[in-house]
Amino acid sequence: MRPKILVIEDNEQNLYLTTFILEKHGYEVIQAREGGEGTRLAGQVEPDLILLDIQLPEMDGYAVAQALRSNPALDGVPIVAVTSYAMVGDRERILAAGCTGYIEKPINPDTFVAQVEEHLLDCTSGRGGEA
C-alpha cells in the first residue's frame, strides 16, 4: 500500500511541483488548497504524513496545525511545515503550533523526497519527528 500524503498548499505552482515529485516516487497525494479543507480531509483520508504550508489564506498554518493536533485520530501523524518562513524564531513557533518538522521553501527537487521520507521513518520507528 502506497503511503498517503496530504498536502495543504494554496499556491498552485507549489502544489503542482510537490504533487508531481511525490507521485513520481510512488506516494499517493491528497490535495487541499486551504486550511479548513485540509483539516476536514485529514480526518477523512487518514494520511501517513501531512505537508502544511504556513502562509494560507483565512486559516493560517499555525491554526491548521493546532486544529489537526486537537483531533485524537491524527495523534501519530507527522505534520511537516513546508514554508518560506526562515527568520529567527519561525521554526520554534511552527514546532510549538504542533508541527513535527520543517522544510524550507523553495523546495529542492533533488532532496525533497529524502526530507519527506525522514519524517515518515521517524513516525514509523517511534523516534519522534524532530527536524
DSSP letter string, 34-85? SHHHHHHHHHHH--SEEEE-S--SSS-HHHHHHHHHT-GGGTT--EEEEES-
71 within some domain = yes
Nearest residue to 50 (alpha-carbon basis) of 81, 94, 16 = 81
Give pTM, 2 decimals. 0.92
10 within some domain = yes
44 within some domain = yes
116 within some domain = yes
Residue 28, CB half-sphere, CA atoms under 13 Å: how many?
8
Contact between 5 and 48 under an 8 Å Cβ cutoff? The reply is yes
11: containing domain: 4-125
At 48-67, the pLDDT tens digits run: 999 999 999 999 999 999 99
109 within some domain = yes
Instruction: Count other C-beta atoms under 10 Å from residue 104's C-beta.
Output: 15
131 within some domain = no
Residue 110, CB half-sphere, CA atoms under 13 Å: how many?
0
Number of domains in the chain: 1
**Which cell is 81 given?**
511545515
Nearest residue to 59 (alpha-carbon basis) of 68, 49, 46 = 68
130 within some domain = no
Q: Measure the CA angle with vertex 91, ends 116 and 115; round to 5°.
A: 15
What are the residue ranges in the chain where pLDDT is below 50? 126-131
25 within some domain = yes
- What is the predicted pLDDT for the residue at 1? 80
Write the CATH number for 31. Answer: 3.40.50.2300
